[in-house]
Chains A and B, each alone.
Chain A
Amino acid sequence: MTNISWALAAPLLALAASLAGILLHSTRDNQRRLVCSLLLLSALAACGAGMAGLLSHPDTAVLPIGLPWLPMHIRLDALAGFFLLVIGVLLGAVALYSVGNLRHLAEHRSLTPLYIFLPLFVAGMQGVTIADDAYTFMIFWELMSVASYFLVTFEHEQDANRKAGFLYLLMAHLGGLLILGGFAVLYAAGGSFEFGAMRAAALTPPWASLAFLLAVSGFGMKAGLIPLHAWLPEAHPAAPSNVSALMSGIMIKVAIFGFLRMVWDLIGLEHTAWWWGALVLAAGSSSAVGGVLLALQQHDLKRLLAYHSVENIGIIAIGLGLGMIFAHYHYPTLAALGLVAALYHTLNHALFKGLLFMGAGAVLQATHSCDMGRLGGLIRRMPRTAALFLIGCISISALPPFNGFVSEWLTFQAALMAPQLEGTLLSALIPFSAAMLALAGALAAACFVKVFGIVFQGMPRSRAAAEACEADGWMQLGMAIPAVLCLLLGVLPVWILPLIDVVPQSLIQAGLGKSAAGGWLWLTPIAPERASYSPLIVLVALLLAVGAFLVIHLRSGEKRRTAPWSCGHPHLNPRMQYTAVSFSQPLRRIFADLYQPQDKLQRSDHGHPLLVKKLRYQVHVQDQAWRHLYLPIKRFSEWLTRRVDWLHHRPIHGYLAFTFVTLLLLLGLLL
């Protein structure tokens, strides 16, 4: 089999899974097993094809399906290979997780819609990466969007899910329209839907800028860049947990892929204006900080994780923006560094966000709640899930020796190369975005102390949490795979980077090259004297230190257990613990101007303000993007609808007159 047939096998296996979902709807157990196994096979094919795409030359094929004059073109190159690999790795883990997860879901309802649309959604994502013409790209893109709409509204009895689904569909199509516009500009220049022709076409600067703007807003909407993120925190939590893992872990990465394909590959970075990179950098910085600030104020576990996706997409965009700026000023090696940092973070985020959403799914299944105010103490009831979730928390907080730190380190290194752009305005802007990156990292750590501390530690805050059961073996296996990979990617970046380095080599004909290979031990992205990091030494040193002390202390066993210190108060109860709301209170106060929290305090007393009977405190933090962007747009469109309302109430000859005038206008345009 050639490489391209491996790449084709992945979506085909996914389509087969969808078919199996329909055919076996009467036997639930077989249905689940077959769909999950086919998805796993699809994941393996995607991994294989991804590796092949990274390691060998681009391979193309033309499929005799599609429009009569436009067969489907597919192509497997390094960029497609990398993203197929990302999809394959997480999909494999999620397929295993689903075997256990869906068994529990199936107790309550028929999962046939899920078995149909989940594989279609996967096939759409895989198809987008290997598309080699605009038509194929858009077909698969829409397949991905529409199939995921049905997954978001899977539990459609709940009003909130239907609303989230509608918002998602609306924004997905608006984004799709913008992307289509981008392709239209490229089509006009290249005269063909094929990517090869678009790549070769020479765009004039204004048209290139237009195509870039359409791409950045269209793909940005799908990726969830602030302020185009509004659908993301609504839609991701609404879907079943294994779907949330895929949506947050890889679907928004497919948007990053689309951006890279269109801007870095088709438009080409030789046409960039200086502000392109600056725009991406600014959007990335604001997403990184805005996403984590909003995440801190969420009390629903899955919603919180969804906001962290906004943050991490921001970090990826910072890397991409840096790359574009360096490419504009003709520093190809540094541009490659920015891109490699972004891609490394793409892979990392797919892993740890997939892991965290799967963990959230395990918690949801065990306690039937994602409201952090009702959880707590799960580390004792679900020790393995807790340990795996903790790995995800450490990774996403960018702490060594896990993988999140490596990609943030690389992004910092790229940002610190700003002095190369001497005397430009940008060189002062870049350190500012580095500051935003540092702020986002530190806030993320605060947020995940809150998540782990409130959900898994302390005392259970509800009966459901007190009686939770550990997730089953399949789910643990599904979570263990990304957890192990998080550690490996954190410890062995030197082995991974040469693989990723292929992508910039094929996209911008420049890579980190030899400088990245400072031996198997040292990660030196630019030059050894500039910066180096040896995760293995850090890991070994940490293990040695921890191990030495454990050995000393395991001997002196005996520990005494007693009640915690309660300041002399006789009974500590779970309601005295800090909650998610109180944990984030100091930050709410510090960033009050950004949050504009609305709080409400109700109190009743026994006739004297000091003799309190009952206190009730409520605080609500709204995403300011709603108030300042979405609601005005909504009001405007409603206003517009009312203005043209009279057009709808015409007698029949009125409508005929409209048709006639329209035809005349169109004829006038043609002549």
Chain B
Amino acid sequence: MIGDYKGEVKNKVLVALLQAYLDILDYDGMKSILKEAEMLHLKDIKDKDPNQTLDFFSFKKIISAQNCLLYDSSILLFEVGKKFSFYLFPYGKKFEEIIYEINNLIKTDWKVEIVENKDNVITIKVLKCIFCSEIGVSCDLFKGFLVHSLEKSLPSEDKVVCKTDVKDLHDPNHNTFSIQLKIEKSIK
């Protein structure tokens, strides 16, 4: 890992992420990621105060390990992202509130904002996304997170499809991108 990783992350963010790993990859899968990140001691973080913070560098090591081990596993990462949203915001929230909160729960040099919301299409700008800063890594986890976060605020029959403007994953700035979430209403 190269770069400056200053900032802090609420414990509950990592708890939600580890729970998502557990659901999708089971215990050994979660352990593999923590081991690769040399962060195995954080496996029981759920027992700590969820509102305490963890340094961003440790969190980023886990994300980097995940991106290395799950390289080329887009569907899995997307599913992990959906579960991550489910566990981080279990009681349902407005999509706008989730976007506001994720910026506050992970405080570092990044930003997520809704730039447009009309005609059932929401455009989100992500600056320096922390979930895909590695060269060659697509942002499937955060896509899954956003899709599920929006979907759970909609009637259950409605679907959300997403597309991004990322063109070249090998561009060092590929982690600054726009993502469009389109709500497909069910026809009754």
Do chains A and B interact in one complex? no
